[in-house]
Chain A
């Protein structure tokens, strides 16, 4: 069955960096686009970024553009999110989610990981 396991969360000071990972199994990772979605404490869901099956296409939310970078290693079945210049408002649980297709257009989420908490605080 599909499994997505995030890691790398923790407490980090404002302005510092953190890298999240999402280990995928149970499907052919290299065939599907992948997303990061976040949820601030007590708030709703916010889509962050998508990467296509081969890493050639990426779209970012304006709130993270220029600070966050998504990447993937299809040989390791792993998705990454490099987060730089972190701000207090980036505090959230970060979920990776599998896309329904390999491309970035008209793709919905079908499976979600359990999430990893990132806390940005001095």
Chain B
């Protein structure tokens, strides 16, 4: 199975900040990497697929990069609605696997 490791597991940031979250795969997954946002008590929402492509309706403040084993999610100009937990997930091979999540909190 491919292990997905996210870092940090949590971070504190201020309104207007830019934050980055990293995700590392235990083996190469090309660009078969997705990112999700989850707010407390809510279902996950899809943000990015193919490492850097935005899902329909997702604002351009979210961006993704990377290929192979190392990936980054960047969130610009943090706003109150962006404070949530973010997960990466590989879909290169089964079983599909998720990272452990990164909780973005208000400083």
Q: Which residues of A contact B (CB under 8 A)?
A: 35, 37, 44-47, 50, 59, 61-62, 95, 100, 104, 106-115
Contact = CB atoms under 8 A, between A and B. Distances in A.
Interface stretch (B11-19, B59-67, B69-77, B87-95): B87-95
6 contacts: A44-B99, A62-B95, A95-B43, A95-B44, A106-B32, A112-B45
Contact of B98 (A47, A50, A112, A114): A47
A61 B95 contact: yes
B44 to A, nearest CB: 5
Interface in B18-39: 32, 34, 36, 38
Q: Can you list the 6 inter-chain pairs with the closest CB atoms, starting with the nearest?
A: A47-B96, A108-B49, A59-B94, A45-B98, A112-B43, A108-B34
Interface of B: 32, 34, 36, 38, 42-46, 49-50, 55-56, 87, 89, 91-92, 94-101
B98 A44 contact: yes
A108 B52 CA distance: 13
A114 B95 CA distance: 23
Which residue of A45, A59, A95 has the most chain B CB atoms within 10 A of its CB atom?
A45
A1 to B, nearest CB: 10
A112 B89 CA distance: 14
Contacts of B98: 44-47
Contacts of A111: 46
A100 B49 CA distance: 10
Contacts of A59: 94-95
B43 A44 contact: no
Given A45-B98, A110-B46, A110-B49, 13 more contacts: A44-B87, A44-B100, A44-B101, A45-B87, A47-B95, A47-B96, A106-B91, A108-B91, A109-B46, A110-B56, A111-B46, A112-B44, A112-B46
